């Protein structure tokens, strides 16, 4: 993963890969052991000198990851061989201190806490990227507030909308995700011991628990162990799944609008980007493709996290283990998809002239709803709708503009003045609550900006 391998950074970028690499996982587990020793020394359970000796050996560079991995295959998890290796290193410098390594803790404390440290760093990266994406989408919504584009339902022309409205609707869920993920996306260290009661620490258990929370405050710790209460990782997975689903929606919209026959948008251009091995003229939407790839992988991963929640008694048999690669994979694909979404939106090419061309394709039919509503004032809604259906069929059959068909219609001709028709067939004036909706989403974005910038 470090160098991307054959697939480069198609599915995992280097920055996120580094945060979730085995070395980072190992360092997270070692940081737990150092924090545990400091907390126990603070509570008077182990000598301060022992805690210092243990901390000096808690550097990932001291350990052979492959060797620990081979031992983990037999042991059932990597914490067991790691604790053994750590104990040996501490014994080499202080035999007395070695007896206090991992004192009162269990493998799950080590693994969950080490992963929590990794996920906290990954969460920060996800939030930074979602912030950048929100800024780009807000700028797009403002710039194209009044740019008309055809709205499409069931992939067919419906009525005109503003491209700024579409961009604002892309923005809203990103703002909500950022807000939600700042809270429920936080993983946490835990200390529960063999069965979640810290019984091995006797009457000093509560003191150690308090000290451990203080020692790990900068990376987050909870006082109640969550060995088999797995809402925390499941909620993180669900939020990442929701994010990926929305990014997929954005990518799919853009890819459809970038089709040759539509041509309203295009991905950022670069030499060699989106080419075809067979067709020199191709410009494939590769960013959209990769975002959609992540969105299609996410549901199965989220489902695995939910399926892993019913865990047996005080230690899971398989469910906990299933979480390890699954949540890591969700962070990886979410980080990659966000990176690609930022590149996509920041460099998105918008073609208002083509949007206008497509608005004109149906010879005014996209304004039939508006004309029908205007006529309803004198004809009644049902009759007006019926007559506009007839006129629309005549428009399609003849290839004439709907306005010309109306002028020749025996029951509709003359009912609307030329000035009224000019306004009715102007897509830029058919806005409804467009500005209010855009403004509401932008207000939410502005309110979140302080939190995005760390000022909230």
Q: Are 384 and 376 in contact (CB under 8 A)?
A: yes
Q: Which of 132, 152, 235, 315 is catalytic?
A: 315
Q: Is the pLDDT of residue 455 over 50?
A: no
Please name every residue paired with 350 in a beta bridge, in sequence order, or none if there are none. Answer: 265
Domain 1-105+202-225: give its CATH code: 1.10.275.10
Residues in the chain: 456
- What's 268's DSSP letter? P
Domain(s) of CATH 1.10.275.10: residues in the chain: 1-105+202-225
pLDDT of residue 175: 97
Please confirm, yes or no, whether 276 is among the known catalytic residues: yes
Q: Count the neighbouring beta carbons within 10 Å of the beta carbon of residue 454.
A: 8
Residues of the chain with CATH 1.10.40.30: 365-424
Average pLDDT over residues 432-452: 92
- The pLDDT of 263-274, averaged and rounded, is 79
Using an 8 Å Cβ cutoff, are 247 and 295 in contact?
yes
Q: What are the residue ranges of CATH 1.20.200.10 in the chain? A: 106-190+226-360+430-456
Residue 383, pLDDT above cutoff 60: yes
Confidence of residue 427 (pLDDT cuts 50, 70, 90): very high
Backbone angles phi, psi at 161, to 5 degrees: -135, 180
In Å, how far from its chain's centre is CA 155?
A: 26
Clarify whether 315 is annotated catalytic. yes
pLDDT value of residue 384: 93
Identify the pLDDT of residue 84: 98
Domain spanning 106-190+226-360+430-456, CATH architecture: Up-down Bundle (1.20)
Domain boundaries 365-424, CATH class: mainly alpha
pLDDT 10s digits, 115-160:
999 999 999 999 999 999 999 999 999 999 999 999 999 999 999 9
pLDDT band at 273 (very low <50, low <70, confident <90, very high): low
CA separation for the pair 381, 273 (Å, rounded): 52
Dihedrals phi, psi of 151, to nearest 5 degrees: -85, 140
pLDDT digits (tens, 9 = 90+) for 296-338: 999 999 999 999 999 999 999 999 999 999 999 999 999 999 9
For tokens 């994979």, the residue is: 329
The active-site residue out of 197, 276, 398, 429 is 276
């Amino acid at each position: 993963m470090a160098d991307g391998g054959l697939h480069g950074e198609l599915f995992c970028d280097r920055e996120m890969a580094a945060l979730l690499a085995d070395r980072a996982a190992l360092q997270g587990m070692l940081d737990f052991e150092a924090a545990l020793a400091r907390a126990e020394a603070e509570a008077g359970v182990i000598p301060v000198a022992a805690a210092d000796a243990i901390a000096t050996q808690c550097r990932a560079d001291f350990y052979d990851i492959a060797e620990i991995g081979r031992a983990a295959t037999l042991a059932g998890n990597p914490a067991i061989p790691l604790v053994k290796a750590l104990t040996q290193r501490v014994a080499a410098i202080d035999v007395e201190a070695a007896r206090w390594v991992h004192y009162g803790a269990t493998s799950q404390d080590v693994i969950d806490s080490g992963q929590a440290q990794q996920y906290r760093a990954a969460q920060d990266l996800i939030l930074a990227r979602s912030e950048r994406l929100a800024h780009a989408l807000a700028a797009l919504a403002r710039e194209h507030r009044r740019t008309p584009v055809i709205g499409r339902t069931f992939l067919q022309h419906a009525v005109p909308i503003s491209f700024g409205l579409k961009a604002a609707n892309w923005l809203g869920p990103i703002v909500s995700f950022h807000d939600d993920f700042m809270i429920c996306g936080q993983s946490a260290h835990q200390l529960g011991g063999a069965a979640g009661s810290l019984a091995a620490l006797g009457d000093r258990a509560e003191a150690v628990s308090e000290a451990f929370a203080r020692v790990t405050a900068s990376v987050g710790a909870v006082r109640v162990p969550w060995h088999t209460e797995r809402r925390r990782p499941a909620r993180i997975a669900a939020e990442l799944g929701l994010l990926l689903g929305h990014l997929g929606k954005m990518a799919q919209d853009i890819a459809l609008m970038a089709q040759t026959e539509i041509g309203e948008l295009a991905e950022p251009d670069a030499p060699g980007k989106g080419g075809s091995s067979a067709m020199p003229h191709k410009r494939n939407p590769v960013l959209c493709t990769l975002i959609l790839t992540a969105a299609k992988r996410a549901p199965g991963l989220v489902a695995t996290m939910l399926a892993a929640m019913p865990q047996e008694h005080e230690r899971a048999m398989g469910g906990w283990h299933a979480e390890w690669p699954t949540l890591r994979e969700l962070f990886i694909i979410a980080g990659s998809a966000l990176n690609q979404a930022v590149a996509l939106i920041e460099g998105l090419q918008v073609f208002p002239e083509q949007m206008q061309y497509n608005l004109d394709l149906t010879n005014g039919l996209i304004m039939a709803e508006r004309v029908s509503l205007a006529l309803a004032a004198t004809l009644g809604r049902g009759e007006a709708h019926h007559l506009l259906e007839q006129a629309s069929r005549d428009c399609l059959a003849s290839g004439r503009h709907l306005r010309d068909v109306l002028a020749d219609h025996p029951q509709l001709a003359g009912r609307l003045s030329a000035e009224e028709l000019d306004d009715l067939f102007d897509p830029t004036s058919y806005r409804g609550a467009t500005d209010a909706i855009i403004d509401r989403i932008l207000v939410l974005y502005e309110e979140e900006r302080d939190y995005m910038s760390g000022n909230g």
